[in-house]
Amino acid sequence: MRLFAAIHPPSDVLDALAGVVAEVKRAHPGLRWASRTQWHLTLAFYGEADDAAAEALPGLLAAAVAAGPAPRLELAGAGAFPTRAPGRAKVLWAGVEGDLAELAALAERCTEAGTRAGLKPQGHEREFRPHLTLARSREPRDLRGHAALLGDFAGRPWTPEAVDLMISHFPRPGHTLLRELPFADA
């Protein structure tokens, strides 16, 4: 099974974002929009896990989550990846603000938990860029107009209660919760 660790924003935060995203969808059709039920902040992507790693990971990840405080977060702004070539982007995202240093430390602990479980977390060699993926394009395109329409969005601040260990259903879109791992201060 393919696993990843994520934070899911509260429903009311997603409701506010969904209202703005609906306007962007109408103004700019042609993207593959992620379902609201799939919106999350990825902390670590572990890829395919064998039975031994899948059994070891929840305990290691629980310890990693409990090792620090829950970060206070806010969805705000938007952008596109790759950031170096915004006119040739493939991913439109909502930004994250708040306790970003603590969020990055949490992502690092989650990545390390995967490594200790015998997995090879993917993407950890790049700088951690917290975001919530909203849409994808099959071909590179200019998504700056899309991002500009979302640029003024600022949701209410919130503090997550847990990190979720998720199963990714590749190649079909979607994921399901495997285990909820609460913060020690939740």
Give the chain's domains with CATH numbers. Answer: 2-182 (3.90.1140.10)
- Comparing C-alpha atoms, which of 20, 56, 60, 57 is closest to residue 36? 20
Q: What is the rounded distance in angstroms from the CA atom of residue 84 to the CA atom of residue 122?
A: 21
Taking the C-alpha atoms of residue 139 and residue 124, their distance in angstroms, rounded to an integer, is 25
User: What pLDDT does 127 receive?
Assistant: 84
Place of tokens 């990190």: 163
Q: Which residue, 156, 124, 101, 107, is CA-closest to 47? A: 124
Catalytic residue numbers, as ranges:
40, 131
Q: Is-above-0.85 flag for pTM? A: yes
Q: pLDDT digits over 3-19, tens only?
A: 999 999 999 999 999 99
Q: Please write the tens of the pLDDT for every residue from 59-81.
A: 999 999 999 999 999 999 999 99
